[in-house]
Structure 1
Amino acid sequence: MGAILENLTTGGPVIALLAVISLLSITLIAVKLLQLWPVTSGKDQRQNAIELWQTGDKHGAQAQIEQGKSPADRILQYAMGALQNGLKGPLLTAELERRGNEEVQRMNGLIRLLELIAMVSPLLGLLGTVLGMIQSFQELELAQGAANASVLAGGIWQALLTTAAGLVVAIPAAIAAGLFSARIDRAALMIESAVGQLMLADHGR
């Protein structure tokens, strides 16, 4: 463990910055995982609620989704309440679209920051490598050819360490951002599907 810490400290401020960014990335991934875990849940309950609505059991339909935790549940619950209060047509459509956009925007929060981490971390690692290589060759020049080859190789190895660290930080962030974005897209489609089915069921009644 001590050897690992010693190797990390030899990377200089770039390694320290990447360590901070890594902690930030892990925290963001954990927060988004907790937030997005339930966003695709409740499909069967929504389907049952829409079937109850179509049969005229409005209270039963609303009771089916009262405890729902997904954006589609919240939008569907509002749509049912609005229809029961007589709100229909373009006004209801516009309000549902606004609420749906807000839900998607809320789910997308911090995803851009993860994408930025995935993009910037390799560049920081490359910067550290370039700076380390410059320092190694400066030492070689100052030694006027008398430098030990193993010492030079050690300096180059330490410089390349920052590139590896940048990739280690970037890869999980990029994977997480991609998976989260795909899950958000699924949740958005579920919102559209649930609202569309409700409108058809209400029209059928």
Structure 2
Amino acid sequence: MSDSLLTDATGMSTGPLSQLLEMGGPVMMVLLAIAVAGIVTFVYLMLFGAFFAPRFTARLKNAINLWQQKPCSEVPGRLEQNAGRYSRLNPLHHLVVNTMNARLKAADPQQIRESVASDAHDALEPFEAPLKIIEVIAALAPLLGLLGTVMGMMEAFSAMAATEGRANASQLSGGIYEALTTTAAGLVIAIPFAALAAWIEFRLRRIQKTINSALVSVMSVPLTTSESHAAPESPGTAADTAAAHHRFSDYSAAGQQGRLANATG
């Protein structure tokens, strides 16, 4: 029978995991806990993103092309009528339909832009917390590993001092080996989570650019029917469109909500 299946005199498992926890002490248990939390967060983020992430589908692309050719109420109506259950979970679908309807109702352009910016932020907000958790784990794991190493080294040298310097090299090296285990574990956890955080942030930037492109395409189309009669555009329409593009494209980290809070506002 292999050693991983053996048990010690107290009945506790002596497998690799239990040996690792015993060598690393309480810090190793904390590292294992945050690693499990990070994996659960990543799985949740992938499942949530598969259903609720904004997607620029072929149906939306065709609807925007029709809107650019002939902006009328048939375009959002047909888009809403032909939307399936999976499409209705797409936040970008609702953003495009609501923006088209708002423009057809000749609403104030400034009010439309503010409403669109708020709705776009709400579409990206659910991804902020999971990304932050993964980033914190990637930053915290090496520090916890270093803490475990320092505590292990203190314990090893304390034992050496208790023997009045008569500890042999094998005993001292064994204590140092156990102390360095937590540093290695912290790096093993931090490296993949740092890579995952960078990849998730890249994907969110791509989603933000997709939202910007779709909404600017809808907002920049001049209406020649209802909007031109009900609320004629001022001579500064071109400047407003450019300002809208700038507002949608702003991804500055200076906002109160961090990188994603200013994704479209």
Q: Do the two structures share a fold, i.e. TM-score over 0.5?
A: yes
Amino acid at match of 1:111: L
| Pair 1:44–1:201, CA change in 2 (3 A) | farther
Instruction: Quote the residue 2:33 is aligned against.
Output: 20
Name the structure 2 match of 1:60: 78
- Check 1:91–1:7 CA distance in 2 against 1; reply closer, same or farther (3 A cut): closer
> What residue in structure 2 maps to residue 142 of structure 1?
162
Task: State the partner residue of 2:111.
Answer: 91
Q: Offset of 1:144 from its aligned partner?
A: 2.4
Name stretches of at least 5 consecutive residues in structure 1 with no aligned partner.
none
The answer for the alignment partner of 1:41 in structure 2 is 55
Summarize the Cα distance change of 1:109–1:204 in structure 2 as closer, same or farther, 3 Å threshold. farther
Task: Spell out the pairing of 1:134-173 with structure 2 (5 A cutoff).
Answer: 134-173=154-193
Shift of 1:199: 2.1
Distance of aligned partners of 1:65 and 1:191 in 2 relative to their CA distance in 1, 3 Å threshold: farther
CA drift at 1:88: 4.4
Measured in 2, the distance between the counterparts of 1:22 and 1:74 equals: 36
Q: Which has the higher helix share?
A: 1
Which one of the candidate residues 173, 178, 183 is aligned to 2:198? 178
Distance 1:188 1:98 in 2: 13
TM-score between the two structures when normalised by the length of structure 2: 0.70
Give the direction of change, closer, same or farther, for the CA distance of 1:94–1:3 in structure 2 (3 Å limit): closer
Deviation at 1:77, TM superposition (A): 2.2
User: In 2, distance between residues paired with 1:175 and 1:154?
Assistant: 33
Deviation larger for 60-69 or 108-117: 60-69
Give yes or no for the alignment of 1:188 onto 2:208: yes
Which residue, out of 121, 131, 145, partners 1:111? Answer: 131
Identity of aligned residues (%): 31
The code of the aligned residue for 1:77 comes to V
Residue 130 of structure 1, CA deviation: 0.7
For the 8 Å contact 1:40–1:70, the answer to whether it is kept is: yes
**Which residue identity lines up with residue 174 of structure 1 in the other structure?**
A
Partner of 2:234 in structure 1? none
SS at match of 2:167: coil
What TM-score do the two structures reach when normalised by structure 1?
0.88
Report the more deviating stretch, 166-175 or 85-94: 85-94
Report the Cα offset of residue 46 of structure 1. Answer: 1.6
Q: Which runs of 4+ in 1 moved over 6 A?
A: none
The answer to which structure, 1 or 2, has the higher relative contact order (CA under 8 A, 6+ apart) is 1
